[in-house]
Every structure is written in C-alpha cells, then in structure tokens.
Amino acid sequence: MITIPRLLIKEPQKGKVKGTCIFCGQETEFGHRIKDTISSIFTMAYVLQGGNCACEYCFSFMKDQTYRRKSWVAYPGGFKTLDKSEKKSILFNPPIPPFFISITITGQKQPWLEAFDRLAYSRNEYYFAYEPFGLVFFNRETALKMDKIIVKALKLKITKTELKTHFKMKTYERAAKEGFEELLQEIKSFRHNQLWEVLINVTTN
C-alpha cells in the first residue's frame, strides 16, 4: 500500500527495530522506537494503530518539520510547497492522481496525522489535510458553487468574518436596498461546513 510518507520519502532514515508501524500499520525491519518518534506529550494518540515502532518512512516524515510548517502537495515523482496564492488553485487543479494536499495556517499542528493512507485517487472527490480541522472532504461540484458565492460576496464588500459567522446589520440593510438578500440565504446554508471555511480562508482578495 502506498502511504503519504512512502510517496514523499525517497531515502528514509533506517532504524533497527523490527515490527509493525503505529502510523501506517505496515511491517518493517528498519523501524524506530516510538519514544524516538513522538514525545511523551503527544496529544493525538487516538490516530495511532497497534504496533511497536515507527517504520523508517513514517519516522522520516514525522521528523521533517517542512511537512508541518508548510502547505504542500505530493504526487509520484514530485513534491511542492505552496505559497498563499497557490492554495486555492491546487484544490481545484490538483496533480494527476495519486496525490495528497496539506494546507496549514499557523504551522503549529500536523493536520495529516489521520491521513497516512488517504491518498487521493480522484481529482473531483478527495480528502485533503487542513490545519486546524484535520481531514476535509473536497467535492468539485459543491466547491465550485461555494467559490462562486464567495467571490460574489467579497465583491459586494461582505467580509470574510461575516461569511463564516453572522452578518452586520448594515449588510442586511444593503442587501434589502441593493437586491442581494437571496445571496445572504445561500451563504447561511453553507456556514459550519468545513470546506466552506477553507475556501474562504484560501481566497485572496
């Protein structure tokens, strides 16, 4: 099975522990001790599988801070970090599968911890990692509809905060006067949807 670490890591750091990896569940003869891979204050133990070590691929992946601090996309034969302007475009125009996309905001968390075996095999429906949510499901048809509404709303000077939370009274008054009350109702229908919030955050304006 191809996992995200095996897609990314070409020359893993080999260890001396034989057993089952707690991250990907695969057998290895070159694993590393668990205590050498994660700290005693690791807070996401619920994502771990039964095992006695970290395989050389998962160990190398966990130890490279680039994957936590940066937004990136991985695919066979390639890896690319993403700047702010590229985050939205990569969601709508990902590489040829298999691939995996990880988008960070602060770089403080590892949003892909639940996704070691969640490579995307479709460009229209797939899971990607997003800090702080973890895994988020992307559906192209839904995302295109959301994006159209977001772009239109921002052009009408509706703020990103309003798109995610609630409208100001002045926005309601403008909507009644300028005739975009139906748009406000569409926005309300998408609130509390993780993909909606992601698309708002990665839209540059």
What is the pLDDT tens value at each position of the chain, 205 positions in all? Answer: 789 999 999 999 999 999 999 999 999 999 999 999 988 767 677 788 889 999 999 999 999 999 989 999 999 988 999 999 999 999 999 999 999 999 998 878 888 888 888 999 999 999 999 998 989 999 999 999 999 999 999 999 999 999 999 999 999 999 999 999 999 999 999 998 999 999 999 998 7
- Structure tokens of 11? 């020359």
pLDDT confidence of residue 51 = 93
User: Are residues 95 and 136 located together in one domain of the fold?
Assistant: yes
Look at the chain and report how many structural domains it folds into. Answer: 2
User: Are residues 123 and 179 located together in one domain of the fold?
Assistant: yes
User: Are residues 197 and 147 located together in one domain of the fold?
Assistant: yes
Which three-class secondary structure state does DSSP give residue 162?
helix
Distances (CA, A) of 129 to 6, 32, 45, 72, 166: 17, 25, 18, 10, 26
Which three-class secondary structure state does DSSP give residue 137?
strand
The range of the structural domain enclosing residue 189 comes to 65-205
Final residue in a domain of this structure, among 29, 48, 64: 64
pLDDT confidence of residue 96 = 94
- Structure tokens of 195? 């993909």
User: Are residues 39 and 98 located together in one domain of the fold?
Assistant: no
Final residue in a domain of this structure, among 64, 84, 116: 64
pLDDT confidence of residue 41 = 67
User: Are residues 36 and 71 located together in one domain of the fold?
Assistant: no
Radius of gyration of the chain from its Cα atoms, rounded to whole angstroms: 20
User: Are residues 110 and 201 located together in one domain of the fold?
Assistant: yes
pLDDT confidence of residue 106 = 85
pLDDT confidence of residue 40 = 73
User: Are residues 53 and 95 located together in one domain of the fold?
Assistant: no
pLDDT confidence of residue 108 = 80
pLDDT confidence of residue 117 = 87
User: Are residues 107 and 195 located together in one domain of the fold?
Assistant: yes
User: Are residues 154 and 201 located together in one domain of the fold?
Assistant: yes
User: Are residues 131 and 184 located together in one domain of the fold?
Assistant: yes
User: Are residues 50 and 23 located together in one domain of the fold?
Assistant: yes
pLDDT, tens digit, 9 for 90 and up, residues 102-121 = 999 887 888 888 888 899 99
User: Are residues 182 and 202 located together in one domain of the fold?
Assistant: yes
Final residue in a domain of this structure, among 45, 64, 83: 64
